[in-house]
Amino acid sequence: MADTVTEERKGILLETGTNEFEIVEFSIGKVNYGINVAKVREVITRVPVTAMPEAHPYVDGLFTLRGKAIPLVNMARCLNLQTSDELQNIIVTEINNYDIGFLVGSVYRIHRISWKNMEPAPNVGEGSRVVGIIKMEDRIVLLLDFETIIAEINPEINQKLTTVAEATQDAKTRRGTAHIVIAEDSKMLRELLVTTLHEAGYKFIRDFGNGQDAWEYLQDLARKNGPIENHVRIIISDVEMPKMDGHRLLKLVREDSRLGEVPLVLFSSLISEEMKRKGESLGASGQVSKPEINQLIDLLDTLVFGEPLHDTIKED
């Protein structure tokens, strides 16, 4: 089945801005999960793994694929699942410019889904790694927050999200006048992003967990009197979100008579060459790969003030 999924992935090309995406469905024990096809390089059957001393508890070790050593995450252990089934497939991904494999049970097929049909995950605890629920005809598929899993394993991700360039008090004061709207579905990443932007001086931030809620708020702002830049100066959006994805949000913003000129930056783990072309075709003001927070802040400064405002890197 792994070869079938890999071949099926090669044939997928979505029309930009349709608010649709594809998932690879897989299982661990009796629970079905999904991962966005855009994150998947390929699916392979289990291969020999070399254990690594003092590795993260989720990591079984390293496997080799075309000469490259890649860490392997045991998803049953990561999700604290007890299963007697043998985990026999590896989903090889590239997320946040980081190659990593996920050891899972069965891998099924690719499904094309509308983001509006994916519900945000209910709040069932701080440790939940589920960001969305997809209701199929006879089962529920849980969409996992792979960015958070990787951030737990690789501390460099969080460090890059929280290590900001130093700026003068004058620069922070200028940044404090800009109203930013953020759409990001991962609660952990959204909180880190807002906190880091606050520390950089961007204090006036309204954040949302999906594109639909952000769009409704932006429409409210558009109905207010006065220049639109008095109400929102810039929008930051993830691409992969429930209800409405970042590409659909960008398309709606660009088609709106009041919001059309507001800069919108895509900040996502899915900024591949193909995704860049999609973003550019829809009118993205810029696209930055997570977790490069300093690139994002430089771009925000440039779009709002015409130039970056930082001096040197400040290590926290």
**Residues 160, 147 within the same domain:** no
Given a cut of 60, is residue 280 above it in pLDDT?
Answer: yes
Among residues 124, 153, 182, which one ends one of the domains? 153
Model-level pTM? 0.76
* 22 in Cβ contact with 12 (< 8 Å): yes
Running DSSP on this structure, what letter comes out for residue 14?
Answer: P
- Residues 131 and 165 placed together within one structural domain of the fold: no
Q: What is the mean pLDDT of residues 122-151?
A: 83
Tokens of 39: 């994150």
Split into its structural domains, the chain has a count of 2
- Domain boundary (113, 133, 153) is at 153
User: Quick check: 9 pLDDT over 50?
Assistant: no
Task: Tell me which residue of 224, 227, 188 sits closest to 207, measured CA to CA.
Answer: 188
φ, ψ at 195 (rounded to 5°)? -60, -45
Task: Please tell me whether residues 7 and 84 are part of one structural domain.
Answer: yes
Residue 245 has pLDDT above 70, yes or no: yes
| CATH code where residue 24 lies | 2.40.50.180
pLDDT at 311: 55
Give the pLDDT confidence of 183-230 residue by residue, as tens digits.
998 888 898 899 999 989 999 999 999 999 999 999 999 999 999 999
Q: Are residues 168 and 105 in the same domain?
A: no
Neighbours of 183 (CB within 10 A): 30
Q: Are 14 and 21 in contact (CB under 8 A)?
A: yes
Residue 83 structural domain:
2-153
Q: What is the CATH number of the domain that holds 207?
A: 3.40.50.2300
Q: Mark whether 140 and 19 lie in a shared domain.
A: yes
Is the same domain home to 161 and 305? yes
Confidence at residue 8, expressed as pLDDT on a 0 to 100 scale: 47
For the residues 284-305, what does the mean pLDDT come to? 91
Non-local CB neighbours of 109 within 8 Å, separated by 6+ positions = 4, 5, 8, 24, 25
C-alpha to C-alpha distance for 268 and 236, rounded to whole angstroms = 10
Mean pLDDT for 246-270 is 94
Question: For the residues of 49-111, what is the DSSP string, one character each?
Answer: -B--TT--TTEEEEEEETTEEEEEEEHHHHTT----S---EEEEEEETTEEEEEEES-EEEEE
Residues 16 and 131 occupy one common structural domain: yes
Of 122, 153, 184, the position where a domain reaches its end is 153
Q: Coil, helix or strand for 179?
A: coil
Q: Give the pLDDT band (50/70/90) at residue 312.
A: very low
3-class SS of residue 7: helix
Say whether both 41 and 106 belong to one domain.
yes
149 with 176, same domain: the answer is no
d(Cα 97, Cα 195) in Å, to the nearest integer? 23
Same-domain check for residues 45 and 177: no
**In this structure, are 218 and 145 located in the same domain?**
no
- Identify which of 295, 227, 238 has the alpha carbon closest to the alpha carbon of residue 271: 238
User: Is the pLDDT score of 72 beyond 90?
Assistant: yes
**Residues 265 and 126 reside in one and the same domain:** no
